[in-house]
Amino acid sequence: MAGLETRRFLIVTGKGGVGKTTVCAAEALAIAHKGKRVLIAMCNAKERLSAMFGSDLVGTEPMPVAPNVWAVNMTPEVAMEEYGMMTLNSRALYTLLFDNKYVRAFFGAVPGMHEWAMLGKAWWHTTETLDNGAFKYDVVILDAPATGHGLDMLRVPKVILDVAPPGILRRDAEKAWTLFQDEKTCAVVLVTLPESMPTQETIELATSLRDELKLPIGKVVVNCVLPPLFSKAERQTLEDAGLGPNDEVKSKDDAAIQVGAARAARERVQAECLARLSKELPVSPSFLPQLFEDAARPEAIAKLAKRVG
């Protein structure tokens, strides 16, 4: 498949805590270095992206965070207001029809409306143009919610197409869904860790994306990969030494063996997970190294951008 910089829309998702936002930042910087204009769209997130780029705090309006990189932290309420304004072309009419507690409560109770407001806003940014007719952003990266919530969000346009009558909502959902399912315009980036639970969850997520939603998986990023220090035989020898993390240490040699055994066990699990991901996913995984420093810094993101690029 072609590089991510050729797509209009990237959906980055995975189990919570695997480093999705870090990967979004690194991918955005790598694509920007190729001359593309990139927007990172976060979903009502606890804002950490500004620390990664050394920028001002990212709010609900797109703002520059690095050369050729913009970011926005979407909220359901603001996204719904923007959607209503675009639909009605009148703030006065929007205020009359939507800006009251009863309508807000109604939309909050409709399953999927808040998710569609943010997903639809991210898609809408792919349609924005400059005065010269060129796209305002070449690539929009959606920093999607974690696995379960992320899947629910991605199901919403399909549900709208199944149940909504003809109208603006259905029209926009159809346009977005067509873009999402086309591997030339969209790719899902799965982020995981070389650990058992994230690996299992990533494989299940890939199955749902591929079989249920028919969305193209363009990349799998395994984050926090350790460089192996031991061979398979050495790992086995250290683990067979029988010095676990809670065992009593009687000498410096015991302490060294205990530390080595813990590292060997982690390397074994990592190797098993990488082999499983390579075997069971539709694309070969790529790796980002374990950083022994704070990854939420511009210097760290620049290092990771070179790796993903």
Average confidence (pLDDT) over 234-258: 79
Residues 94-119, mean pLDDT to the nearest whole number:
61
In a domain, 102, yes or no: yes
pLDDT digits (tens, 9 = 90+) for 72-86: 999 988 887 776 666
Predicted local distance difference test score (pLDDT) of residue 141: 98
The Cα–Cα gap between 15 and 152 comes to: 14
β-strand pairing of 286-289 with 217-225: parallel
Share of the chain above pLDDT 70, in %: 87
pLDDT of residue 42: 96
**Average pLDDT along the chain:** 88
Q: State the pLDDT at residue 1.
A: 46
Structural domain harbouring 141: 4-226+282-308
Note whether residue 158 is domain-resident.
Answer: yes
pTM, two decimal places: 0.89
Per-position b or e across 285-307, b if 16+ CB within 10 A of its CB? beebeebeeebbebebbbbbbee
How is residue 167 annotated by DSSP? S
Q: What is the pLDDT of residues 114-164, one digit of tens each?
A: 888 899 999 999 999 999 999 999 999 999 999 888 999 999 999 888 887
Q: Return the structure tokens found at 77.
A: 């309420």
CA max distance for the chain: 78
- Range from 17-26, 106-115, 188-197 carrying the lowest mean pLDDT: 106-115
Residue 251 class from Cβ within 10 Å (0-12 exposed, 13-18 middle, 19+ buried)? exposed
Rounded average pLDDT over 186-206: 97
- Per DSSP, the residues of 103-128 read HHHHHHHSTTHHHHHHHHHHHHHTT-
* Lookup result for tokens 């192996």: 228
pLDDT, average across residues 23-37: 97
Helices (H), the chain: 20-32, 49-53, 76-88, 91-97, 101-109, 113-125, 147-163, 168-181, 196-207, 232-240, 252-280, 298-308
Q: What is the pLDDT of residue 85?
A: 61
The CATH number of whichever domain residue 184 belongs to comes to 3.40.50.300
Q: With cut-offs at 50, 70 and 90, classify the pLDDT of residue 205.
A: very high
For residue 195, name the pLDDT band (cuts at 50, 70, 90).
very high
Number of domains in the chain: 1
